[in-house]
Structure formats: structure tokens, C-alpha cells
Amino acid sequence: MDKKQKFQPPRWADKFLEWYCAPHQLEDVQGALYEFFHERIEKGNTRQAKWYFILDVITHFRPHIIKRESSHFTSNHFGMFKNYLKISVRNIKKNRLTSFLNILGLTISITSFLLILIWIQQEKNFDAFHENAENIYRIPNTFTSESESFSQAVSGPALGAQLDELFPQIVNACRFGQTTAIIKYEDQTYFENGIRVVDPNFFEMFTWEALEGYQNEFFKELNSIVLTESLAKKYFGNKAAVGEMLTVDNERTVEVTGVVTDPPANSQLQFEAIISTDLGKIRWENPNMDNQWGGGSFYTYLQLKPNTDKEVLMEEVNKLITSKLSFFTERNMSYHYFLQPLTDIHLNSKLRYDFSSNGSARNVSIFTVIGLIILLLACINYINLSTATAIKRAKEVGIKKIIGAFRKDLIKQFLVESVLLCFVATLIALTLVYFLLPGFENFVGYKITPNLGAQFILWLLLGILALGLIAGFFPAFFISTFRPLTVIKGQLKSGKKGSFVRKSLVVLQFTATCALIIAIITVNGQLRFIQNQDLGMQTDEVINIYFRGIQSVNDSREVLKNELLKDSKFKSISFYRNSYPVGGLSNSTIQVETENGKKVSSSLYNILVDEFYAETYDIELASGRFFSEAFPADSTESVLVNEAAVKSFGWGNPELALGKKMGTEPNERKVIGVVKDFNFEGLQKEVEPLRIVPIRNRNSFTEIAIKADLSNPFETIAFLENTWKRINPEVPLDYTLMNDDLQDQYQGELRFRSIFFLFSILSLVIASLGLFGLATASTNQRIKEIGIRKVLGASIFNLVGLIGREFLLLVLLSLLLAIPLAWYGMEQWLSGFAYRIEMNGLFFLLAGFIAIGISLITISYQTLKAAFRNPVSSLRSE
Amino acid sequence: MKGTNLGEFEELVLLVTVARPEEAYSVGIAKVLEEVAGRKVVHSVVHASLNRLVKKGFLTSEMKPGSQKRGGRRKRVFEITSAGMKALEKVKDQRDNLWAMIHST
């Protein structure tokens, strides 16, 4: 026996064979394999025999061996299934309230989930539509100087001009720069902000659809411009655009050589018109641009050969760039370039000078979780309502069991029912999504093109099935356990069974809801805090005019100023160059003297201004003085910094900072004053070191800030418009109110708040629906008890308390559970802000009031109805 | 009904069942083929081909007692049908005709 056992083939392989092999073939096949096995053992090698046996078992895993003999006794599942459906439909019709609550809850949650899903699909597929998307990368860099280090999305222009020639792995390199211009067609003049400067291979690398003209010939001539469909329509209506002439900045005539479709909303590369980098060079008066390796304001994209070793490439690229940047290296500054996959940028890139349209991976995961929570809430509703009203199905279950139904069949019945409900709800939800999508687009902030292919339908059907099974699983098992005898004898105690599970689920539901309420209160608080935060400057009275450095405006500067200041509503006017303290400033590198007199290189944000900047924005001084017309030498010798810079250079305090030197001869300047920190960027970021330089070239202003009384904005602006038209008839007035622009900085957050708010409310509605259903079931079951209590003298108050207490306890418990959860989650969210509120007990209290208030309102209808009911009507029939 | 053509491997299998009736079961056929054709024959392929031949009506099968090695399991022994015999002869005729053409030129 022992010996024989030793020569058994591996047990598990044998078992596996027995499992997959068709029964009618098993004996023969297994016999054959045993025969081989024993023959091999006779040859002497037991181990090898075992291995071969396993191999044999695997090689026999083939259709002709697995396939079962077709049987003549196929049972009629279809007939039974029809019956399940019929009974389900009858039940849905019979229990109208429960079915209505279930379908409503499921519909709301599925609608929300689908909307979220569509949005996430869009967010995750930014720029994925380009044919070369997976081989395209952006090449941003990390800049390091002696005093700081930061990563920026823009790169030196030479990279885009030369890299594809220098490295065989790089198929294409393309720059994407942003500019604005005044464009004139016949007698119409427009400011266009969406002009992009790109290399001609832009149309080869990325996938755009040309409507007019030929992509390869767009930039054959220097003076060419390509328009998007909508811009072409704005200028030429329905006329053909190609061949038309436009005047740019009143000085250059360009020909429209092509029209392309508008870039889709899910692209980071948004543009309205496109000119080539060669023309850009001329516009920016920078003929040597293609050889500048440092600085820069271009986004540079590289298309690599498939399967390129990116690490090796980047090492070589960095080596090359370092060798080109000896100027920086000598001053201990360095650029380290790296690659970002194109499709990754939208969600995962948060660099300096990044696209403001960028999304956030964090928000995507937050909303995924919320979508799942909402689905879960609806499932829980279904489970609770089904089990709470299970008593109604008890007789059906009992009779079916007596007639001979197995438990399996009953489970199938209930699962069919839940899947059917989900199916109905999904159909309604799809219709709703169709109508709600435009509204949802407003919430999200861009146009959504849902991808509804066969794949989507398949997933949808699978989703319905899964949702139905998840929701129906517990009720099906629960109800099918009823014993026929107890049921038929009428001994089944209603309501008690499964009540623990039900209560736990309610707690789970309300925990999620309370957490969401706390979250929405916190988000709201934080946003209000940000909007009311003292920015260190006044913003309520500022009008900003962006005139893009047009010469005629610069020339008539003093006239405009004098004319405006004649009116007492206008208090102060400052001209400056690209220094609007909203939406980002430029930065540059400079040599700075530290406390011990040594010079280090560092990078600072720049503001280039006239003497009235501080006055116009009410920026306060920490020490020294601002520039003044009384000191003509200011424009060449003086500079101001902010407190953050004082701290960054270790100068001690603002008084000690005075007289420190910045820059190298002959451009060395002395610090004559320190301004208090003001927030020139969104409050997500700390105030960074800043340098305020008086402008030397008085003809290079680009913007005007006007401090004016805006208590009657229309009057003020009308006066401004008239004056402007009189002095600068050629130039359109492009102004914004500073407070609007500040608001725009938080667009992402505000949008987040609205979406978040929407879905929190929806989840609250769903949870309330469930609570309402439960209260209904529970009062119905206790209707006699209530009647008897009332007869014996219980007051309405007693009775309401009796039922209400049960639910209130659950809600309170949920609140307790929700607090730490929400606390943790919101701490995470708040950590994304440099200026933030602290979590506050008051938030929890408020959330508690809301949750309890809503649940009270929800259950009050049913409880009051039960309490006011005449006991006779509930006790009479027995 | 599947086509009644004989594949090359099927033909070999069928021939073995006629030539060596005592080995006319899957393992036996596999071994004979290995000897005759001198190539590695995978058992599951023989098995599949036998199944196919039964389906085409060229073979019938019967379960008969097997050796001790099979752990007491019976084996499925095959026997050729008259249709199977005819199919074999047809193939042989075709080949003979073709060979005759080769030799006559």
C-alpha cells in the first residue's frame, strides 16, 4: 500500500483533471494519463513522471476534452424566468410606495453616478485623442539657485528649436507659446487673447482637423495665420477664410492660410489663432530666440520614437543643456529638465506657470468616492426597505416552499426583482442624464462629449446586473430563509428579524451623509475665508486696463491720467509692465547680497512699475520709502522687496534690509524700502520673494491700474470709457474689475464646491428617502401597539417620542462616527491651501443640527400620522 | 455532418486501428505512431482526432477492461467501420493514381 501510494500522480493535478474533463470521457482520458505515468515510473524517474503527469493534465485542457455531452434534458429555465419577471412586476405594482422610494433612490444615485463617470472619463482622457498621444511628452524643468528651487512648466526656446535635430530619438519638437494681439479686419478691431505661437510641426504632431487649407502649407509664408472655426466665423461669417488678409497690431498684414476645428474641451492646448515661431521672433524682436537655452516662456512638447529609453535620453539632454548654460552654472544656478507624458499633464501637473485649466487628480478621486457612496446609499435603501417589508412576502415564500421550490429558486426570484428595479431606474437615469448634461456642463465648466459606444452599453448592462445583485443579495437570502410552517401558521414576528442589520446600515448611511455635510460646511467656510482674507492690498476699487503696450496709449499716458484725475471719483492711477498682482507674475534670476555681504544667485518674482503702484493698491511699507518723482535717480539705482524676500535672504528685519545691493554692475541697485507682504498669487500659495523695480523705459508699460470709487460702477466706467475713446480712439478698452479677477483665481475651488454641494444634497435626499421608507414600515408594524397605547392614555408627544427616539439615536451615533472621518478627510483637503481655516467644533455642531433636523422632518410625517390616528381604525379589525 | 475528408493525421490514426487492432486505443495508437512515424505524438491530439473520426462515422468504440497501469480504469477501444474502410481505400486509390502518373512519365 505504501509503495503504491508513492507512485500516485500529484493529487491536485488529478483533481484538476477530474474537474475539467467531461464525465463521459473521464475514465478513458484519466486511464491514459495513468498509463503514461506508470510507464515513466517503470523507466525509473519518479519525479520526472510526476512533472510529466502535470504537463499532460495541462496539455489535455482542450475544448474537445472539456466539452460536456449534450443532454436531452435541458430544464426550462426560460419558463421559470418569465414567471419570476411576472411576479416581480406584480410586486412592484402592489407595493407602490416602497417601489417608488426604491426606484427614486436608485434613479437619483445612478444619474449622479453616470454624470460623475462621464466627467471622470473626460478628465482622465485629456489630450488622449491625439494619434501620437502616447509618444508625446512635455519637457518642463526644475530650476535651482542658491536660495531656492522650483519646477516650472515652461522651458527655454532653444529646446523646441533644436532638440529634434540633435537627438535621433526625438521625432518632433514643438513649442507652444501664448500671446495676444489687436487684430483688424476691414473696419472691425478686436483684442484676441487666444493667439498661440507654435512651430509648424504642431499640426503634424498633434491631431487637428483642417477645414480649409493644407496642413503642410499653413506656414509656407512668414506672414500667415491659421484660425479656428469659431474665430473664422467671427471675422468672415460664412465666407471662406483662406486668402483673407488681417492686420495684426496695426503694423503687419497676415494672410489666413487655414482654418481648423476648435480644439476640443478635453485638450490642454487651447487656441483661437496660430502663428509660427518665425513670426513670433519678429513680433518679440528676439532674432536670437532659437539659441536661448535658459529662461523662456514656451511650453515645449517632444514626440519620441516608440520605446525610447527616456532616462538615457534625458541624461543626454540635461548634459547638453548644462553645457550650453555656462552663464547659469558659473553662478550656481541650474536647470534640470524632465519629461511629463502628455496625457498625464491635465490631472497630475502642478508646476509654476502651468495651464490654469489643469484639473486635479485629487478631485477626481474625491468624486469617484462620492459617486460610489451615492450608489451604496441607494443599495442600502433597497436592502432596508426590502427586509423591513419582508413580512408581506412571507406567505408567498411559504407557499412556494411547500409546493417544492428550493431556496435557490426563491433567491433567484428576489434577485430578478432587484435587477429589474435597477434596470428600470437606469433607463430613467439615462433619460435624465441626457437632459441634465447641459446643466452639468455649466457646473464642470467645459463641454462634455460622452463616449457612448458598444463598450459603454456593455458596461452599463454589467453595472445594472452588479448593482441589482449587490442590492438584492441580502434581502434574497434573508427572505428565503422563512420557514413555511411558521409563516403559514402566522407565527412570524414581523420587523424584528434583521433589524440589527437594518440599523447598522442606516448608521452607515447617515455616517456617510453626516460626513458629507461636515465636508460641505468646511469647504464653504474655507472658500469664504479665502475670499474675505486681507490680501495686504486693497482690491475693491481697482480697475485694471490691459492695453498690451500699444505705443499710442503709452504716448498719451499723461493726457489720460490728467483727464481722469480731474474727476474726483478717480483717486490714483499707476502704469506698469505685466505686473498685475493677480494670476501670476514673471520671475527672473539675479545676484543678491546676503547679510554677510556675499553675493548669491536667486530667483525672484518681478514687478515693473511707476511711482504710483503702492498708492493705487494701498500696499503698506514695512520700512524705507516707495519710489518717488522727487528722486529721479530711483529709476536706475533703487529697488524694493517684500518681507518674504527679506526673510529668504536672511537680512534679519526690514530696517536692516535697507541699502542691501541687488544685481551686478552696471545694473546694481540698492534696496530703498520693504513692502509688507501682499498676495500676488492665489491663497493656495504662500507669498514668495518679490522684487519691485521702477520701470526705466517709459514706453514699455502694458497695463494700467486705476483706483476709483466703484460705489456706482456704471457711472465710473462710463466716464472711463468716454475719456478713453476720446484719447485712444483706435484702441479698444479692455478692462476688468480686480475683484472679478480674484474670484477667477478660485474658479477651480468654486466649481469643486458646487459639484460637491450638488452631490452631497443628493446623497442626503437618498438617505432621507430610506429613512422615510423605514419609518413608514416601522409605524405600520407598530400600528396596533400605538393604538393600544393611545387607548391607555399615551399623549401624542409620548407616541412621537417612542418612534422618533429609535431613529434619532441612530442618527446621533452616525454623527459620532462621521466626525473623525470628516475631520481626517477635510484636514487633507485644507492642507492644499497655504492660508486656511482650522476645523472647528462649530462645524460639527451645525452638521449635527442639519442631520437631525432633516431626519426629524423625514420621519415626522409618518409618526404624526400614526400618532393622530384614531385607535379604533387600527384596532377594529382582528 | 462534418466533411468526410480524411486529414493526414486522421488517416494515420485510422490506419493504425486497422493494422494493429490490439493497440487500437488512444495510448496504444500514440505509441505505434511514434514508432512508425518517428515523431513525437501528443496524446491529446490523438484523442481529439479519434473523437473526430467517431463523429465522422469512420470508427466505433467500446469500453474494454484495461491494464493494471490504468489503476483499474477501462479503456476505450476503437474499431473501423465500413465507411472508414472505404475512406481509406479512396485515399489510397488517389495516391496510387498519382504515383502511377509519376512513374509513367
Residues A441-467 have pLDDT tens digits of 887 778 887 777 788 888 889 999 999
CA distance A301 to A201: 11
Chain B neighbors of A59, CB-CB under 8 A: 42-44
Average of per-residue pLDDT across A75-97: 83
SS3 A125: coil
> Stretch B54-69: mean pLDDT, rounded?
87
Cell numbers at A194, concatenated: 487666444
Q: Indicate whether A495 pLDDT > 70.
A: no
Distance CA A695, CA B38 (A): 95
Q: Which of A27, A28, A61 to mutate to test the interface with B (most CBs of B within 10 A)?
A: A28
Amino acid code (one letter) for A551:
Q
Mean pLDDT to the nearest integer, A378-388: 88
Cell of A661: 545691493
**Beta strands A334-337 and A141-144, pairing class:** antiparallel
Task: Report whether pLDDT(A494) > 80.
Answer: no
Using the predicted structure, report yes or no on whether residue A1 has a pLDDT greater than 60: no
> Does A6 reach chain B within 8 Å, measured CB to CB?
no
Strand residues in A659-730 grouped as ranges (E): 661-662, 669-675, 690-694, 703-708
* Grid coordinates of A268: 490642454
A29 touches chain B (CB under 8 A): yes
CA angle A830/A835/A836 to nearest 5° reads 40
CB-CB: which of A29, A31, A65 is closest to B66? A31
Name the one residue in this structure whose C-alpha cell is 497676415: A254
Q: What is the pLDDT of residues A568-607, one digit of tens each?
A: 889 999 998 888 888 778 888 888 887 777 888 888 898 8
Say yes or no: B101 contacts chain A, CB-CB below 8 A.
no
Percent of chain A with pLDDT over 90: 28
The span from the CA of A318 to the CA of A672, in Å, is 39
- List chain A residues with CB under 8 Å of B64: none
Sign (positive or negative) of CA dihedral A448, A454, A457, A459: negative
- Chain B residue whose CA is closest to A58: B44
Residues 6+ apart with CB under 8 A from A79: none
For residue A62, the chain B residue with the least C-alpha distance is: B44
Residue A877 pLDDT: 62
- Residue A396: alpha-carbon gap to chain centroid: 49
Max intra-chain CA distance, chain B: 57
* pLDDT value for A6: 57
Nearest chain B alpha carbon to A57: B44
At A74 the pLDDT is 55
Determine contact, residues A10/A50, Cβ cutoff 8 Å.
yes
ipTM of the modeled complex: 0.88
Mean pLDDT of chain A: 87
All structural domains of chain B, each given as residue ranges with its CATH number in brackets, are 8-104 (1.10.10.10)
Calculate what percentage of chain B has a pLDDT beyond 70.
Answer: 95
Q: For residue range A326-377, what is the model confidence (pLDDT) as tens digits? A: 888 888 888 899 999 999 999 988 888 888 778 888 889 888 999 999 999 9
Cα separations (Å) of A856 from A565, A587, A705, A795, A810? 61, 57, 54, 18, 12
What per-residue confidence (pLDDT) applies to A5? Answer: 47
What residue ranges do the domains of chain A occupy? Answer: 2-66, 140-338, 361-529+748-875, 542-743
Determine contact: B3 vs chain A, CB below 8 A.
no
Size of interface A-B (CB pairs under 8 A): 58
pLDDT band at A2 (very low <50, low <70, confident <90, very high): very low
Q: Are A241 and A232 in contact (CB under 8 A)?
A: yes
Angle of CA points B72, B78, B80, to nearest 5°? 165
Q: Give residue B105's pLDDT band: very low, low, confident or very high (50, 70, 90).
A: low
Contacts of B25 in chain A (CB under 8 A): 28, 32
Res A118 pLDDT > 50: yes
Q: What is the band of A751 on the pLDDT scale with cuts at 50, 70, 90?
A: confident
The A residues from 53 to 82 touching B (CB cutoff 8 Å) are 56, 59-60, 62, 64-65
pLDDT band at A288, cuts 50/70/90? confident
Query: What is the β-pairing status of strands A273-276 and A188-198?
Result: parallel
Instruction: Return the C-alpha cell found at A581.
Output: 498682482
Residues A800-821 pLDDT 10s: 888 888 888 888 999 999 999 9
**Which of A248-252, A257-261, A690-694 has the lowest average pLDDT?**
A248-252
Three-state SS at A250: coil
Asked if B48 reaches chain A (Cβ–Cβ under 8 Å), the answer is yes
Closest CA to A847 of A371, A512, A529, A532: A512
Number of H helices, E strands in chain B: 4, 2
Mean pLDDT across the stretch B56-64? Answer: 89
The minimal CB distance from A31 to the residues B44, B51, B75 is found for B75
Query: Could you give the residue ranges of the DSSP H alpha helices within A537-662?
Result: 551-555, 557-565, 613-617, 634-637, 643-648, 654-657
Task: Determine, for residues A29 and B70 on separate chains, whether the beta-carbon distance falls below 8 Å.
Answer: no
Torsion sign across C-alpha atoms A532, A537, A538, A544? negative
Q: Which residue of A has its CA nearest to B27?
A: A32
The partner residues of A546 in beta bridges, in order of sequence, read A703
Pairwise pLDDT comparison (A101 vs A446), residue with the higher score:
A101
